[in-house]
């Protein structure tokens, strides 16, 4: 199902991001346990990453196809362009069509840390990927893009960052999912600026339930998301007590999601890190 049809029916969506496992055992657990448990929470859609953080790219389409076929849940394939040739992208899109996948989160991606040699014949920005998909496939896909409440780390200023977001929408994107953030003011200010720039699409906030303090610091360093003092003060003293961290992470996310939803956010996209329990608890309260 196209996400834009779901968006027409629902003011709010609750969705999950998963990532392909790194081991064959992990694959089995993801396919047979984790996704099954997530499906029982009846999300509006599930998205699967593509090579994020140097992770796997080959399994994304199979996972997305499985989510649709096994659970009849709308799903979204992330697709990054910078490390592929244009021919490779054309081939991947043919596979996406063959698998009956209808929704794509169209991204630039990043060069791997150990190899900055991208193919020369590539799409340099997600907007170029979007333009290509729209040219070749018209309205066959619903296309999402990434948005950055703190601006993308490579952007020189927020105005320019939003100008490029507007370009992605003008090239044919239908919705935006944001980078994670912990201070809701970042999201509200971002949405305000985005609307002032004339962008009308949904800006779905991306929320990471905290399950590990050290993991959080590493994750945020990787994607250059800021960590407020409140988070350090709450989580650092209990960082070696996994039960307390989990409880505090759920409490923080519930507070964050409630405030977002009460102030007009069109749902929540959970960065699940393939962990069911926290999302299950949070969604049971905030939905
Ligand atoms: P772009 O939109 O191409 O923007 C990249 C930079 O270029 C920005 O600074 C932008 O302002 C600037 N820019 C854009 N257009 C132009 C232009 N025409 N001229 C000059 N500058 C321009 N990464 C993965 O590898 N796999 C994933 O599955 C994945 N999933 C993600 C999901 C979400 C919701 C988010 C928020 C991020 C995800 N990422 C993923 C990370 C993403 O790939 C990186 O943040 C990447 O650095 C930027 O991708 P983008 O699509 O935003 O790039």
For the segment 184-222, what is each residue's pLDDT rounded down to a tens digit? 999 999 999 999 999 999 999 999 999 999 999 999 999
The question of whether 17 is a catalytic residue gets the answer: yes
Distance 71 CA to ligand 1 centre (A): 30
Residue 221, domain member (yes or no) = no
Q: To the nearest 10°, the Cα dihedral for 83, 206, 170, 4?
A: 110
Ranges under pLDDT 50 in the chain: none
Kindly give the number of the ligand 1 atom that is closest to the alpha carbon of 106. Answer: 51
Contact 207, 253 (CB under 8 A): yes
Contact 235, 225 (CB under 8 A): no
Q: What pLDDT shows up at residue 172?
A: 98
Residue 236, domain member (yes or no) = no
Q: What pLDDT shows up at residue 117?
A: 77
Residue 217, domain member (yes or no) = no
Kindly give the number of the ligand 1 atom that is closest to the alpha carbon of 147. Answer: 36
Please work out whether the CB of residue 49 comes within 6 Å of at least one atom of ligand 1: yes
DSSP 3-state assignment of 56? coil
What pairing do the DSSP bridges indicate for beta strands 74-80 and 45-48? parallel
Q: What pLDDT shows up at residue 114?
A: 73
Distance 130 CA to ligand 1 centre (A): 12
Question: Who's near 9: CB < 8 A, 6+ residues apart?
Answer: none
CA distances from 180 to 47, 116, 143, 194, 272 (A): 15, 25, 19, 17, 11
* Residue of 180, 181, 189 whose CA lies nearest to 159: 189
Please work out whether the CB of residue 103 comes within 6 Å of at least one atom of ligand 1: no
Q: What pLDDT shows up at residue 140?
A: 98
Residue 233, domain member (yes or no) = no
State the CATH number of the domain containing residue 177.
Answer: 3.20.20.220
Residue 232, domain member (yes or no) = no
Q: What pLDDT shows up at residue 55?
A: 74
Residue 180, domain member (yes or no) = yes
Name the residue range of residue 178's domain.
3-212+249-286
Q: What pLDDT shows up at residue 54?
A: 73
Residue 227, domain member (yes or no) = no
Q: What is the pTM assigned to this prediction?
A: 0.98
In the chain, the number of structural domains is 1
Residue 240, domain member (yes or no) = no
Q: What pLDDT shows up at residue 57?
A: 87
Q: What pLDDT shows up at residue 111?
A: 87
Kindly give the number of the ligand 1 atom that is closest to the alpha carbon of 60. Answer: 28
DSSP 3-state assignment of 58? coil
């Amino acid at each position: 199902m196209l996400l834009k049809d779901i968006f027409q029916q629902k003011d709010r969506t609750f969705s999950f991001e998963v990532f392909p496992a790194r081991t064959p055992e992990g694959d089995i657990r993801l396919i047979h346990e984790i996704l099954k448990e997530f499906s029982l929470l009846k999300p509006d859609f599930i998205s699967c990453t593509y090579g994020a953080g140097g992770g796997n790219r080959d399994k994304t389409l199979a996972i997305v196809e499985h989510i649709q076929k096994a659970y009849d849940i709308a799903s979204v394939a992330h697709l990054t362009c910078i490390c592929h040739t244009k021919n490779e992208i054309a081939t991947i899109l043919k596979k996406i069509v063959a698998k009956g996948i209808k929704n794509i989160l169209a991204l630039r991606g990043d060069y791997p840390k150990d190899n900055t040699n991208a193919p020369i014949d590539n799409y340099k920005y997600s907007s170029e990927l979007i333009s290509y998909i729209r040219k070749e496939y018209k309205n066959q896909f619903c296309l999402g893009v990434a948005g950055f409440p703190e601006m993308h780390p490579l952007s020189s200023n927020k105005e320019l960052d939003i100008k490029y977001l507007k370009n992605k929408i003008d090239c044919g994107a239908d919705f935006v999912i944001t980078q994670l953030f912990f201070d809701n003011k970042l999201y509200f200010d971002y949405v305000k600026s985005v609307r002032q720039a004339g962008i009308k699409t949904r800006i779905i906030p991306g929320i990471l339930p905290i399950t590990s303090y050290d993991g959080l610091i590493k994750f945020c360093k990787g994607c250059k998301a800021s960590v407020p003092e409140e988070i350090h003060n709450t989580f650092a003293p209990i960082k070696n007590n996994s039960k307390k961290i989990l409880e505090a992470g759920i409490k923080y996310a519930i507070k964050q999601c409630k405030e977002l939803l009460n102030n007009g956010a069109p749902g929540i996209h959970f960065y699940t890190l393939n962990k069911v329990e926290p999302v299950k608890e949070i969604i049971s309260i905030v939905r």
